[in-house]
């Protein structure tokens, strides 16, 4: 709800006027950059007069790329973003309790696998965090998918040398905007935390190994999206060749005039033609950042944690039942009628020669579970948790900045409890906006978990330590005890959570420490 006009603020490109929402000054769709297709971003064009920043005006092109879901889950996350899809999407939203002062800054990077999503939905509304913790919240839109990560360097030469990383260069530009402008919004540019969920966690991981991002943030939170490895130039060049062939051109410049809709329509077929990555459990994105030796000099957490961010405190964790949302369209999994043979086929596709061992382990660990439930547990560990564990242990091995690990355990009771604690349920809990979604029953327990999570994230953003009065003492992560905070109605600490499953996937992936 918009109350009144917010104070006019002077930015490096011009003045902006926002609106008061829940007593917080909100400035929406403020430009932080501009760019030609596939090119690095530049500073935003200056404007005269006062720019109205009261409505969401843009998000990245992404039509047709979001995964399908069950009809009954269509509004699970609340109202969707209706802003126009445009390549001029380098905008951010600022939420602040006041334009004077020097508050911690929390910069949110949205999910969507580097392919879709936006920062504009109600569940990412920053006013609740501002009111709860006296912080400034910034949420960022940027280029995605084929517009952000088409590696044309080998084909297009020097002019396109950064095309494979255009999207994450947008993120650097957004953080530079924060450095140069956030003080005018009551924020402290010397106390910036980046946080993100799913693909947003991958973006946080990526920024932790980008020299150009050094000094632009001081703490990091990765939620259900740890990136251990990113794309390599050879695979990126192969994908670019497939794209050029699809459009019948040999000159990379010709792609700069292809209609947006045609490029979006190419994403799925060219990704299929590229085939799986060599390490599919870790290399997750066909159109994602590329380790080019320059913008990205190395993988974020392989073979170890990037030394560049060794001094950055980190919080990292996952959802207990990540995969329920990904399997929601499969009736036999949704209704728990999957056969043992069907479950084995799906596990074999992931674990290969280790499939029988995986099946036996999860049957023993979950003796009362049906095949669908065991499949969800196994693939949550293989597709998500193993990456977070790898990041946590390699970061902890640096012995420079602390790491804290959590698991979101609270289960939504909706849909007869079939979702459990699914992927992305944590987003409105992070922002304390569960009432703006259809993801919970709004019980006292749900509200308590939201208050706990928001308070803990704010505490970390404020001083680099998440401990606060809403949780028991949360020890730093180490590979001896492996303490983990379980986020539930009654939060608690457990050492080596689901340890046997951890050991299994570490042995399969070769990441044992």
Nearest to 230 by CA among 336, 387, 87, 344: 387
Mean pLDDT confidence for 474-478: 98
- Check whether residue 41 and residue 189 sit in a common domain: yes
Given pLDDT bands bounded at 50, 70 and 90, which one contains residue 1? very low
pLDDT > 90: what percent of the chain?
97
**Domains in the chain, number:** 2
Mean pLDDT confidence for 18-27: 97
- Check whether residue 301 and residue 383 sit in a common domain: no
- Check whether residue 190 and residue 322 sit in a common domain: no
Residue 383: CB atoms within 10 A of its CB come to 19
- Check whether residue 338 and residue 471 sit in a common domain: yes
Asked if 205 and 301 touch (Cβ cutoff 8 Å), the reply is: yes
Nearest to 281 by CA among 389, 362, 196: 389
Q: For residue 260, is it within any domain?
A: no
Q: For residue 258, is it within any domain?
A: no
Give dist(CA 438, CA 511) in Å, integer. 38
Nearest to 20 by CA among 35, 4, 33: 4
Residue 2 has pLDDT above 60, yes or no: no
- Check whether residue 98 and residue 214 sit in a common domain: yes
Annotated catalytic residue 416: no
Annotated catalytic residue 423: yes
Given pLDDT bands bounded at 50, 70 and 90, which one contains residue 3? low
Q: For residue 269, is it within any domain?
A: no
**Domain, as residue range, for 367:** 316-509
Catalytic residue, chosen from 121, 198, 224, 382, is 198
- Check whether residue 294 and residue 320 sit in a common domain: no
Give dist(CA 303, CA 428) in Å, integer. 34
Nearest to 110 by CA among 126, 87, 127: 126
Catalytic residue, chosen from 110, 162, 299, 423, is 423
Catalytic residue, chosen from 176, 197, 322, 411, is 322
332-359: pLDDT as tens digits: 999 999 999 999 999 999 999 999 999 9
- Residue 419 sits in a domain whose CATH number is 3.40.50.1820
Tell me the pTM: 0.97
Which pLDDT does position 231 carry in this prediction? 96
- Check whether residue 296 and residue 394 sit in a common domain: no
Q: For residue 206, is it within any domain?
A: yes
Q: For residue 203, is it within any domain?
A: yes
Give dist(CA 393, CA 406) in Å, integer. 13
69-91: pLDDT as tens digits: 999 999 999 988 899 999 999 99
Q: For residue 279, is it within any domain?
A: no
Give dist(CA 290, CA 285) in Å, integer. 10
396-453: pLDDT as tens digits: 999 999 999 999 999 999 999 999 999 999 999 999 999 999 999 999 999 999 999 9
Domain termination site, one of 308, 338, 369: 308
- Check whether residue 39 and residue 151 sit in a common domain: yes
């Amino acid at each position: 709800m918009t109350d009144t006009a917010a104070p006019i603020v002077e930015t490096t490109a011009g003045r902006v006027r926002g609106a008061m929402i829940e007593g917080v000054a909100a400035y929406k769709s403020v430009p932080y950059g501009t760019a030609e297709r596939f090119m690095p971003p530049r500073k935003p064009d200056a404007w005269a007069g006062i720019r109205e920043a009261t409505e969401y005006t843009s998000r990245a092109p992404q039509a047709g790329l979001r995964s399908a879901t069950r009809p009954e889950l269509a509004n699970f996350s609340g109202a969707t973003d209706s802003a126009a899809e445009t390549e001029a999407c380098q905008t951010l939203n600022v939420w602040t309790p006041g334009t004077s002062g020097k508050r911690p800054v929390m910069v949110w990077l949205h999910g969507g696998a580097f392919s879709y999503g936006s920062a504009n939905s109600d569940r990412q509304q920053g006013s609740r965090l501002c009111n709860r913790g006296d912080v400034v919240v910034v949420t960022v839109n940027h280029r995605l998918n084929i517009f952000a990560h088409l590696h044309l360097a080998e084909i297009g030469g020097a002019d396109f040398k950064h095309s494979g990383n255009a999207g994450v260069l947008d993120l650097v530009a957004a953080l530079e905007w924060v450095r140069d402008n956030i003080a005018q919004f009551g924020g402290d540019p010397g106390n910036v935390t980046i946080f993100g969920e799913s693909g947003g966690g991958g973006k946080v991981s990526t920024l932790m190994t980008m020299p150009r991002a050094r000094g632009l943030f001081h703490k990091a939170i990765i939620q259900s999206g740890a990136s251990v490895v990113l794309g390599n130039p050879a695979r990126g060049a192969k994908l670019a060749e497939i794209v050029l062939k699809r459009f019948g051109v040999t000159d990379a410049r010709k792609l700069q005039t292809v209609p947006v809709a045609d490029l979006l329509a190419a994403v799925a077929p060219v990704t299929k033609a590229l085939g799986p990555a060599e390490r599919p459990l870790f290399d997750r994105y066909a159109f994602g950042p590329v380790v080019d030796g320059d913008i990205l000099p190395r993988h974020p957490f392989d073979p170890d944690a990037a030394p560049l961010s060794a001094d950055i405190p980190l919080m990292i964790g996952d959802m207990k039942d990540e995969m329920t949302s990904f399997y929601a369209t499969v009736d036999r999994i949704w209704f728990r009628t999957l056969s043992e043979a069907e479950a084995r086929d799906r596990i074999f596709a992931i674990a290969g020669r280790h499939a029988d061992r995986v099946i036996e382990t999860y049957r023993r660990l979950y003796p009362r579970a049906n095949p669908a439930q065991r499949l969800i547990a196994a693939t949550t560990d293989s597709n998500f948790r193993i990456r977070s564990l790898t990041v946590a242990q390699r970061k902890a091995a640096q012995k420079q900045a602390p790491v804290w690990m959590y698991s979101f355990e609270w289960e939504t009771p909706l849909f007869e409890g079939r979702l459990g604690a699914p992927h992305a349920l944590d987003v409105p809990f992070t922002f304390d906006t569960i009432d703006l979604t259809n993801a919970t029953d709004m019980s006292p327990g749900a509200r308590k978990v939201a208050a706990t999570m928001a308070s803990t994230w704010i505490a970390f953003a404020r001083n680099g330590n998440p401990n606060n009065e809403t949780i028991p003492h949360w020890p730093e992560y180490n590979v001896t005890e492996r303490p983990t905070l379980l986020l539930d109605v009654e939060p608690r600490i457990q050492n080596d959570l689901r340890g046997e499953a951890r050991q299994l996937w570490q042995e399969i992936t070769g990441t044992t420490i």
